[in-house]
Amino acid sequence: MAVAASAAPGALGTLQASRARLVAACCARLGPRWRLPGSWTCPRVDSTIWARGWTPAAGGAAWQRGYSAEVKTEDELRVRYLEEENRGIVVLGINRAYAKNSLSKNLIKLLSKAVDALKSDKKVRTIIVRSEVPGIFCAGADLKERAKMSSSEVGPFVSKIRAMINEIANLPVPTIAAIDGLALGGGLELALACDIRVAASSAKMGLVETKLAIIPGGG
C-alpha cells in the first residue's frame, strides 16, 4: 500500500505532462498567440491583422478580407486531417462569420455527420473544435433562423443540438475546444462537451439564457 501511494504522484505527473504535450502539439497550428503554462509558445501572427481577419491578396496587392459573408453551406464546417507529426489529429473548424458561428440547422447537420464519421475512424487520435472566424468561437443557437420556425419545429431543433453535443461528449478519443472570443449559450455547451478547453486571452464565456430565467437547452 505504501509503495502504491508513493508511486501515485509520479504517475499523475507523467499523465499531466503527457496531456500538456498533447495540447501543445494540437494548439501549434490553431492561430496566433496561443500559450500554455511553461515554455510552449505557438506561432504568432500580427494581432491586428488576425483580429480583423485580413490576409494578403494575390500578387502583393492591398490587404483583403480572409472570409466572406457569402459562405456556401458546405463550407460552414471545415474538416481538416493534420499530417506528418500531427497525423491522427482532426480539426473541426466552424466557419459562419456572417452569423457569428451560431448553430443553424445546416451546421448541426454538418457537425453530426462529421462526428458520426470520426467516431468509427480508428486512425483518429484527437479532435479539435475551433473557429475559423477571428474573435468568435460560437454565439449559440441561430436565433434569427429560430424566429422563422413554427412552435412545432423548435423542439426538434433543440433536440438535434442536444444530440450533437452529446455525440461529441461521447467520442472515444480526446476532444479539445480551442476558444477564441465569444462562447455563449450553446457555444459554451459545445466547448463544455469537450474533454479539454484551451482559451485565448480574448475568450469570453457565458450562459446568457439565465438572464431570461431559462436553463441552457443544448447540453
pLDDT truncated to tens, each residue of the chain (219 aa)? Answer: 444 444 444 544 554 555 555 555 555 555 544 444 433 333 333 333 333 333 344 444 443 334 444 456 778 999 999 999 999 999 999 999 999 999 999 999 999 999 999 999 999 999 999 999 999 999 988 889 988 999 899 889 989 999 999 999 999 999 999 999 999 999 999 999 999 999 999 899 998 888 878 777 776
List 97, 141, 177, 183, catalytic entry: 141
Q: Is the pTM of this model over 0.85?
A: no
**CB-neighbour burial class of residue 215 (10 A; exposed 0-12, middle 13-18, buried 19+):** exposed
Is residue 209 annotated as a catalytic residue, yes or no?
A: yes
Burial class (CB in 10 A: 0-12, 13-18, 19+), 72: exposed
- Considering only CA atoms, which of 130, 139, 147 is closest in space to residue 197? 130
SS3 for 176-192 is EEEECCEEECHHHHHHH
Calculate the CA 59 to chain-centre distance. Answer: 33
Our answer to whether residue 74 is catalytic in this structure is no
Annotated active-site residue in 186, 191, 193, 218: 186
